[in-house]
Amino acid sequence: MNAVGLESYLIVGAALFCLGLIGFLARRNMIVMFLCAEMMLQGVALNLVAFARFRGNLQGQAFVLFLVTVAACEAAIALALILMLYRRKGSLDVSLWQDMHEVGWEPAEDDEPLPEIPLPAPLPHLTPAGIEPPRKEEPNHV
């Protein structure tokens, strides 16, 4: 038999799910966390389509259509929430919200300084056309 078996698709689906889980747990940018959650949903969808293929009926595919619907709802709500959280703290960093932690559980702090990247050189300021530049010696003429 040369065909790819069900187990192989299940393994790829599980791997996508777990990569998304790692991203959701480890990353601090809320947009990236949202993308990782979507990737977990993709892993599950792959499993369902593989089951539909190897069981010879379409119920798994119908299930994936509902999954896409729920993913769209999740995207709408998640992006609205991200927008609201950003308005409150001015940053996408999810660790700014860790004062909501459980009582008696120290929040994780990362004290290592970030490497400095020098800002790009400021653009030269040219005098706007049609306006006479201020001159220092002007009071002497009067």
Residue ranges in 122-141 that form contacts with another protein under rule CB under 8 A? none
Which residues inside 12-41 make contact with another protein, applying CB under 8 A? 12, 14-23, 25-32, 34-36, 38-39
Helix (H) or strand (E) holding 8: helix 6-26
Residue with smaller CB distance to another protein, 24 or 128: 24
Residues 37 and 17: beta-carbon distance below 8 Å = no
Closest contact distance (angstroms) between CB of 31 and another protein is 5
Structure tokens at 61: 């595919």
Q: What angle do CA 33, 8, 23 make, to 5 degrees?
A: 10
Closest contact distance (angstroms) between CB of 124 and another protein is 19
Residue with smaller CB distance to another protein, 74 or 129: 74
Which residues inside 59-98 make contact with another protein, applying CB under 8 A? 59, 61-62, 64-66, 68-77, 79-84, 86-88, 91-95
Structure tokens at 52: 């539909």
Closest contact distance (angstroms) between CB of 123 and another protein is 14
d(CA 137, CA 142): 10
**Residues 6 or more apart in contact with residue 133 via CB below 8 angstroms:** 127
Closest contact distance (angstroms) between CB of 90 and another protein is 10
d(CA 68, CA 38): 10
Closest contact distance (angstroms) between CB of 102 and another protein is 15
Residue with smaller CB distance to another protein, 119 or 129: 119
